[in-house]
Chains A and B, each alone.
Chain A
Amino acid sequence: MRPHLTMNDKSNPSDRQLLYRELDSLVTQICQESSNPWKRARLLNQLVTKMKNSGSIWSNKDNVPYYEDALQEQWEFFSNNLCEARTGTQYDRDRSNVITWFNNYFKWRLQNCASRVNRENNRRDDREQFYEDGTAIDRIDTLPAEDETHAVECIQLLEEIQSWIETNPDGVLNECIRGRKDITCQVILRSKLSGKDFTTIAAEFGCAYHTIYSFYRKKCQPHLQKFRERLGY
């Protein structure tokens, strides 16, 4: 890695001033660049990279589990409101440097996450579900999780696919590589389902991996596609 300026307590004040000037100049350029979104994206990439690698972004001192989510939200807020007020108050360079502005909002966002977690725990406590020793059964220290229906659907889908490959109901998976009756679509799909890559499968069967891959693309995948469509994916 190329060394970058660090902004911990030991950093040189002049280095810090230099960094602030650099960041400020980037902010000016970004906000002036309205005609070419690619140029803007490149400048923003520079700004974000410099800020993230500066060591000055508020760190996870309290080791809270929602730190990363709040951080990403804050970066989105940052890019939305740097040059215009899109989702909040616009950055005002006369009031603070860009890192201070970032950190102030970020700390507020972390507090906000903490109260959301507290609120959720209070709600759960109200239902009075406790272990025998008095601790609440389902207290959380992370943000409330989203529902699990998606995971359930995924598991059902896997079961259906496995059963399709093993029972091969319409016999379509018997199709094989010419001259190699042992390498059928069924065999390849089964191997791929177990996470094997094409090179490994090729080595196991003593067959060129390009042959296996091309057979998978041309013959097996269309069957899979049809099955997928039947399931509605």
Chain B
Amino acid sequence: MNNTNTETESLPMPITQKAIHLASQFASQHQHPQKVEQIYINTLAVLVVGDYLKLLGIEIDLDRGDSWNPVTRLFENVADLYIKGLGKIECRPIRRVHQNAENGKQNLSDNPPETCPVPLEAREERIGYIVVEIDEDEKVARLLGFSPTADSGELVLKELHSLDDFLVNLEHFFDAKVDLNQWFLNVFNSDWQPFDAVFNPQPQTSPREIENPISSNLGNWFKNIVETGWQKIEQGKKSLEDAIFPDKNPDFAFRGGGSSRSESPLSGGQTTIRQTFPEADVTRAKLIDLGMRLGRTTVALLVAIAQQSDRTVRVHAQLHPAIGELYLPRNLKLSLISDAGKILDELESTVQQQCISLEFEVEPGESFSIRLAIDDLSITENFMV
């Protein structure tokens, strides 16, 4: 993955008239020369990276980027591009200025820049950064390379990773998503266990590390599996329910019924999942180690899913203390995040709270994340339907 010692081979992409025309239209909105240039060059960068991804068969959606929002781009220096089902990458442009450019711009440096700045607003919820060198004289945009992070606010060009690394990174992102369609097929990664296994562990079971390499579900990229998956649910539903909802259910209840979210107060009147979410097709739980200083605090993330008649999937996500604890730690945040990085819903545990839960519906093909955050620690679980 790391190839910082060798320079990467850049990829030239043509700057089309179509792209120039659109970039000019976007920029024409503005009178401040600095802002005109910013919007113009950001738009070009996004378009050429989009052209590149299309070439490789990777689906994008320009309209879901802030760079395509006519209001947001007026205020923020963003060149984000949404990759379907994965998230947003940032396409940071730098200009290549020729020494012998016309109008006698002799004093313009031909020394290519060594770094590429990445402003604050372009560092939010990005899954990676591509630096694009825009050479308008040659009508060529060179994809110089990739960086998975930009925490320092600038990217050192000679330390950029190759585009091959970029694609490997995308694949990892894709693999790290829990594919809920697979759950309907009774296929689970070993991190996601039946409730019984999580709350009544075998003696040798210990909390596992959170950085889990989740097995690949690449077949779903072409969405074939969705079709076959949905048929099998009905056949398997009865036995699945029997296996997953035993009559003597442990006291981990999905509450809330019709409401979109619920916070469970300390209460002895908990009901079983079968009663509160009887239509759940599949339920699984995962232990998550919060690694807090005073002892290792582990919580269990419970996820129950049900297929709706319109093929959307209803999801209950619930957070419980695990093994031997009565209450959740205080100020533990449970957030639902869209694949474009927006927080859609968020709950925070209070004193002596046994569980917090979110309930929502997901369209087929959509991705979402559930984030647990406490103090400086945050752990994100990514899902796709």
Using a CB–CB cutoff of 8 Å, the interface residues on chain A facing chain B are 1-2, 4, 35-38, 40-42, 44-46, 48-49, 52-53, 65-69, 71-72, 75-76, 79, 142-143, 145-146, 148, 150-151, 153-155, 157-158, 161, 189, 192-199, 209, 213, 224, 227-228, 231, 233
Given A79-B55, A151-B28, A35–B219 Cβ distance below 8 Å?
Answer: yes
A-B contact pairs, 17 of them (CB 8 A): A1-B7, A37-B222, A38-B167, A41-B167, A65-B17, A66-B17, A67-B14, A69-B18, A72-B16, A72-B51, A76-B54, A157-B29, A193-B35, A196-B34, A197-B77, A198-B119, A198-B120
Our pick among A46, A79, A189, A193 for the contact of B32 (Cβ within 8 Å) is A193
Residue of A nearest to B48 (CB): A72
Q: Any chain A CB within 8 A of the CB of B38? A: yes
Q: Is A193 a contact of B218 with CB atoms below 8 Å?
A: no
Shortest distance in angstroms between A62's beta carbon and chain B's nearest beta carbon?
14
Q: Which residues of A lie under 8 Å from residue B17 when comparing CB positions?
A: 65-66, 68-69, 142-143
* A69 and B38 alpha carbons, distance in the complex (Å): 23
Given A38-B174, A69-B18; 5 other pairs, CB 8 A cutoff? A2-B6, A49-B9, A65-B17, A145-B21, A195-B77
B335 to chain A minimum Cβ distance, whole angstroms, is: 15
On B, residues with C-beta under 8 Å from A are: 6-18, 21, 24-26, 28-30, 32, 34-35, 38, 51, 54-58, 69-72, 74-77, 119-121, 139, 163-164, 167-168, 170-171, 174, 216, 218-219, 221-222
- Whether B121 lies near A52 (C-beta < 8 A) is no
Which A-B residue pairs are the 4 nearest by beta carbons?
A195-B35, A68-B14, A195-B34, A154-B29
Q: Are A37 and B218 in contact (CB under 8 A)?
A: yes
- Closest residue of chain A to B172 (Cβ to Cβ) is A38
Given the interface contacts A72-B14, A143-B17, does A193 sit within 8 Å of B74 by beta carbon? Answer: yes
B28 with A52: CB separation less than 8 A: no
The interface residues of chain B lying within 8 Å CB-to-CB of A48 are 11, 55-56
**A161: which B residues are within 8 A, CB to CB?**
71, 74
CA distance A72 to B44 in the complex (A): 14
- Least CB distance from B56 to A in Å reads 4
Q: How far is the CA of A75 from the CA of B170 in the complex (A)?
A: 22
Number of A-B residue pairs with CB-CB distance less than 8 Å in the complex they form: 140
Closest chain-B Cβ to A53's Cβ sits at a distance in Å of: 7
Shortest Cβ gap from B59 to chain A (Å): 10
Interface centre among B69, B171, B174 (most CB of A within 10 A): B171
Q: Which chain A residue lies CB-closest to B27?
A: A154
Q: A231 and B71 in contact (CB under 8 A), knowing A42-B164, A146-B21, A154-B26?
A: yes
In the complex with contacts A36-B218, A41-B57, A69-B18, A193-B75 CB distance below 8 A:
yes
Query: Given the complex, which residues of B lie within 8 Å of A40, measured CB to CB?
Result: 57
Docked pose: A75 CA to B120 CA in angstroms: 35
Taking CB atoms, residues of chain B closer than 8 Å to A44 are 55-57
* Given A37-B222, A197-B119, A233-B70, CB of A45 within 8 Å of CB of B29: no
Contact partners of A192 in chain B: CB under 8 A = 74-76
On whether the beta carbons of A233 and B71 are closer than 8 Å, the reply is: yes
| A157 contacts B70, C-beta separation under 8 Å | yes
* B57–A148 CB distance below 8 A: no
In the assembled complex, the Cα of A233 lies from the Cα of B70 at a distance in Å of 8
